[in-house]
Amino acid sequence: MSAGVVRTVKDLVVTVQFDEDSPAIGEIIMVDSPGKTALLVSSLEHNGVATCLNVRSDRTIQKGMAVSRTGKGIEIPVGATTIGRVFDALGGPLDGQPPMDPAQTPVKDILKLPQRGTSFTAAKPDILETGVKVIDFFTPFVKGRKMGIIGGAGVGKTVLTMELIHNVAKGGTGLSFFAGIGERIREGHELYETLQENDLLKNTCMFFGQMNENPVQRALVGVAAVASAEYFRDEESKDILFFADNMYRYVQARNELATILAQIPNEGGYEPTIFSDIKVLQDRLSSNEKGSITAVQTIYVPADDLSDPAVQMIQHELDGIIVLSRKVAEQGIRPAVDLTRTTSSLLTPEIVGEQHYSLSVKAQNLLQKYESLKSIIAIIGENELSPADRSDFAKAKELIQFFSQHMFVTTALNGVPGEYSTRQQTLDGVEKIVGK
């Protein structure tokens, strides 16, 4: 392969001059430096200059060093031997175990989009039970669809995700993938240990690009995890459960890259390609005639502002959203779900059945009435309400308490055993309250 020469080095951005045979965008090129640095080609100019990203933050590159092409993109190991393992964005092991044997492990280019299959809709919606009452009732998980857990800092997004992984993976149906994007390293350790203790690693593959990594790796780790999930869906006809924590950090990492590449931000202050970046990633989390990908994504809300353009953009790609609220968390209710703002387009009689649908309508009416009565009660007191209003207010309070639930993944912290509620038990519990 023909060689280029390093022209400039500015933090993670390296420009390389190729006089002929320029590389392709998305190709990995190697610098002949002491660290044998891998660069990812980000863009090309007509005069043979390639703008590249220093994937591993290697500081041994200097101007004038020779660069060679590889003809390959970022290739990660895929297949059966990767299950139970933990990888970084480039497919390197993070679990202390040896790297995968390239001779025996298939690889996949993470940036290469899969062939468009025929659009696929399951004949009968397949509801996945999570055992978490508030989710099974208000935002039922349907195989092959996307759900979002939205909330500010410290309201329990990661704990709820860990609980879902614990409960759903325990059923042993399909494979679970987890992408840790820009979150705390401690949370990654805790999740790994929880899965190990509960013997759930054998059905799980994990990718981490936590907040200690550079923005290149944080922007790529979600893509790497999706590429691996696609392989199992397309080549091995598996049904995949895909967990991403946190999708907003993906946007943040892309923002940081846009800044160091001196791109002009859009009106919302985000990178210019935010909409297409989110759309491409979300479109890859899809199902086809071979298998399905059911995605659960957490979305951090900056300053608790649900109208943030990035949060809104991600939300539009989802079938249902679970909104976690600081006000609810302050009342000691866990999971701290805001029941009136949590919505799902899948809550229809055709998908969940008549009983579930009519109960959800009654429950939402009670909760909406509860919110409007709260301000009246603050002024005149509960005793001044009409008997009907007082009864509805009491039912709504009982409902809110009913949806509070102890988690399995917090048992080690608070000593309180976790609770699992089947979907039918949840429906029976709600019926008992609203039917009074």
Q: Which of 184, 290, 362, 369 is catalytic?
A: 184
Q: Rounded to the nearest 10 degrees, how much is the dihedral formed by the CA atoms of 127, 132, 136, 142?
A: -30
Helix (H) or strand (E) holding 425: helix 423-434
| Contact assessment for residue 376 and residue 385, using Cβ atoms and an 8 Å cutoff | yes
Alpha-carbon dihedral sign for residues 267, 265, 218, 413: negative
CA-nearest of 380, 405, 408, 385 to 395 is 385
Report which residue type is found at 91. Answer: G
- 157 assigned to active site: yes
What are the start-end ranges of the H helices in 85-241?
A: 133-138, 157-170, 185-197, 215-235
Q: Which of 27, 75, 183, 213 is catalytic?
A: 183
CA distance 34 to 58: 9
Q: Cα separations (Å) of 119 from 67, 235, 288?
A: 42, 17, 6
- 249 assigned to active site: no
Helix (H) or strand (E) holding 251: helix 247-260
Q: Which two tokens stand for residue 410?
A: 């917090």
CA-nearest of 88, 97, 59, 425 to 228 is 88
Give burial (CB, 10 Å; 0-12/13-18/19+) of 413.
exposed
CA-nearest of 78, 136, 145, 124 to 295 is 145
Helix (H) or strand (E) holding 285: none
Relative to beta strand 38-44, strand 28-31 is: antiparallel
CA-nearest of 392, 391, 398 to 430 is 398
Q: Which of 56, 69, 143, 157 is catalytic?
A: 157
Cis, bond preceding 302 (omega within 30 deg of 0): no
Q: Which two tokens stand for residue 165?
A: 């992984």
HSE-CB of 392 using CA atoms within 13 angstroms: 18
- 183 assigned to active site: yes
Secondary structure (3-state) at 173: coil
Task: Enumerate the active-site residues.
Answer: 157, 183-184
